[in-house]
Chains A and B, each alone.
Chain A
Amino acid sequence: MEIRRVADCIWEIPPSAKPGMRVPARIYASEALRAAMDRGVFEQVTNVACLPGIVGAALCMPDGHWGYGFPIGGVAAFRADAGVISPGGIGFDINCGMRLLATRLDEAEVRPRLHELVDGLFRAVPAGVGAEGFVHVTEDELREVMVEGAGWCVRRGYGWPEDVERIESRGRLPWADPAQVSAKAIGRGIDQLGTLGSGNHYLEIQVVRALHDATVARALGVTGPGQVLVMLHCGSRGFGHQVGTDYLRIFVGAMARYGISVNDRELACAPFRSREGQAYFGAMAAAANVAFANRQVITHRVREVVSSVFGRDARDLGLDVVYDVCHNTAKLEQHVVEGAPLDLVVHRKGATRAFGPGHPDVPAAYRAVGQPVIIGGSMETGSALLVGTATAMRETFGSTAHGAGRTMSRHEAKRRVRGDELLRSLEARGIVVRAASRSGVAEEAGFAYKDLDAVVGVLDHLDISHAVASFSPVGNVKG
Chain B
Amino acid sequence: MGRFRVLEEIALADLALEIEGDGLDDLFATAARALAELTVDPATLDGRVERRVTLDAPALDLLLYDWLAELIFLKDRDRDIFPEVEVRVTAGTPSRLEATLRGGRIERGATVLHVDPKAPTFHRLAVEPLPAGRWRATVVIDV
For the complex, give the distance between the alpha carbons of A265 and B138 in Å: 14
Q: Which residues of A contact B143 (CB under 8 A)?
A: 198-199, 410
- The answer to the question of B108 belonging to the interface, with a C-beta cut-off of 8 Å to chain A, is yes
Assess whether A241 is in contact with B12, with CB atoms less than 8 Å apart: no
Binds B, one of A8-16, A54-62, A388-396, A435-443: A435-443
Chain B, range 92-143, C-beta contacts under 8 Å to A? 106, 108, 111-116, 118-125, 140, 142-143
Q: Does A134 contact B (CB under 8 A)?
A: no
Q: Which residues of A contact B121 (CB under 8 A)?
A: 68-69, 88, 92, 248, 266
Cα–Cα, bound, A107→B69 (Å): 44
Chain B residue total in the interface (Cβ 8 A): 41
Asked whether A238 is an interface residue with its Cβ less than 8 Å from the other chain, the reply is yes
Answer whether residue B79 sits at the interface, using C-beta atoms and an 8 A cutoff.
Answer: yes
| Contact call B10/A199, Cβ cutoff below 8 A | no
Q: What residues of A have a CB within 8 angstroms of the CB of B64 in the complex?
A: none
Which of A181-199 touch B at CB < 8 Å?
184, 187-189, 192, 197-199
The reply on B48 being an interface residue by CB < 8 A is: no
- With contacts A40-B10, A129-B39, A409-B12 known, is A265 near B119, CB below 8 A? no
Is there a chain B Cβ closer than 8 Å to A429's Cβ? no
* A93: interface (CB < 8 Å): yes
- Interface presence of B4 (CB below 8 A): no
Q: Does the CB pair B13–A410 fall under 8 Å?
A: yes
Q: Tell me the interface secondary structure of chain B in the complex.
A: loop
Given contacts A264-B123, A440-B114, are A65 and B12 in contact (CB under 8 A)?
yes
B13 near A65 with CB under 8 A, answer yes
Q: By the criterion CB–CB under 8 Å, are A241 and B75 in contact? A: no
Query: Is A479 in contact with chain B by the CB < 8 A criterion?
Result: yes
Inter-chain contact A68/B116, CB cutoff 8 Å: no
Quick one: given A67-B13, A188-B73, are A130 and B142 in contact (CB under 8 Å)? no
Q: Would B125 and A199 count as touching, CB distance under 8 A?
A: no
Contacts of B10 in A (CB 8 A): 40, 66
Q: Known contacts A66-B10, A69-B121; decide if A197 and B73 are in contact (CB<8 Å).
A: no
A437 to B143, CA, bound (A): 14
Of all chain B residues, which has the CB nearest A44? B123
A38 at the interface (CB under 8 A from B): yes
Task: For residue B42, give the distance in angstroms from its CB to the closest CB of chain A.
Answer: 13
Provide the bound-state CA to CA distance between A40 and B15, in Å.
15
Contacts A67-B13, A188-B76 given; does A440 touch B115 at CB 8 Å? yes
- Residue A406 CB within 8 A of the other chain: yes
Size class of the A contact interface (CB-based, 8 Å): 35 or more
Chain A 325-367 residues near chain B, CB threshold 8 A: none
Beta-carbon contact of A241 and B72 below 8 Å: yes
Residue of A nearest to B14 (CB): A68
A65 to B140, CA, bound (A): 15
Q: Are B106 and A130 in contact (CB under 8 A)?
A: yes
A52 within 8 A of B: no
Residues 5-32 of chain B, each 1 if its beta carbon lies under 8 Å from chain A, else 0: 0101111111100000000000000000
With a cutoff of 8 Å between Cβ atoms, the chain B residues found around residue A266 in the complex are 121-123
Residues of B within 8 A of A410 (CB): 12-13, 15, 115, 143
Tell yes or no: A128 within 8 A of B by CB: yes
How distant is the Cα of A141 from the Cα of B76 in the complex, in angstroms? 19
A242 interface residue (CB < 8 Å to B): yes
Task: With both chains docked as a complex, state the minimum distance between the C-beta of A386 and any C-beta of chain B, in angstroms.
Answer: 22
Cα distance A249–B113 in the bound complex, in angstroms? 28
Is A462 an interface residue when CB atoms closer than 8 A count as contact?
A: no
B84 at the interface (CB under 8 A from A): no
Alpha-carbon distance A411/B5, docked complex (angstroms): 11
B13 touches A72 (CB 8 A): yes
Q: Is the CB of A129 within 8 A of B75?
A: yes
A131 B108 Cβ-Cβ under 8 A: yes
Docked pose: A439 CA to B114 CA in angstroms = 6
Q: Which residues of A contact B62 (CB under 8 A)?
A: 249, 252
Across the interface, B113 reaches (CB within 8 A) one of A67, A130, A238, A241, namely A130
Q: Which of A417-453 contact B (CB under 8 A)?
A: 436-437, 439-440, 443
Bound state CA distance, A237 and B77, in angstroms?
12
Q: Are the CB atoms of B119 and A268 closer together than 8 Å?
A: no
Distance from A216 Cβ to chain B, minimum over Cβ atoms (Å):
31
Is B91 interfacial (CB-CB < 8 Å)?
no
**Residue-wise interface mask of A (246-275) relative to B, using a CB-CB cutoff of 8 A (1 in contact, 0 not):** 001100110000000000111010000000
Asked if residues B122 and A264 are in contact (CB atoms below 8 Å), the reply is yes
Given the complex, which residues of B lie within 8 Å of A66, measured CB to CB?
10-12
Q: Across the interface, do B113 and A40 meet the contact criterion of CB distance under 8 Å? A: no
- Tell which of B39, B65, B113 has the most Cβ of chain A within 10 Å: B113
CB distance from A381 to the nearest CB of B (A): 17
A128–B116 contact, CB under 8 A? Answer: yes
Is B115 a contact partner of A192 (Cβ separation < 8 A)?
no
Are the CB atoms of B116 and A199 closer together than 8 Å? yes
A214 within 8 Å of B by Cβ?
Answer: no
Chain A nearest CB, measured from B18 CB (Å): 13
A180 beta carbon closer than 8 Å to chain B: no
The 3 closest A-B pairs by CB, nearest first: A130-B106, A68-B123, A265-B122
B residues near A, CB below 8 A? Answer: 6, 8-15, 39-40, 58, 62, 65-66, 69, 72-73, 75-77, 79, 106, 108, 111-116, 118-125, 140, 142-143
Between A and B, 22 residue pairs with Cβ closer than 8 Å are A66-B12, A67-B11, A69-B121, A69-B123, A91-B142, A93-B142, A128-B116, A130-B108, A188-B77, A198-B115, A199-B13, A199-B116, A238-B76, A241-B118, A245-B72, A248-B119, A407-B12, A409-B6, A409-B8, A412-B8, A437-B112, A437-B114
Known: A238-B76, A479-B116; 14 extra A-B contacts, CB below 8 A, are A40-B10, A65-B13, A66-B12, A67-B14, A93-B118, A93-B142, A128-B113, A184-B77, A244-B118, A252-B122, A264-B122, A411-B8, A437-B114, A443-B115
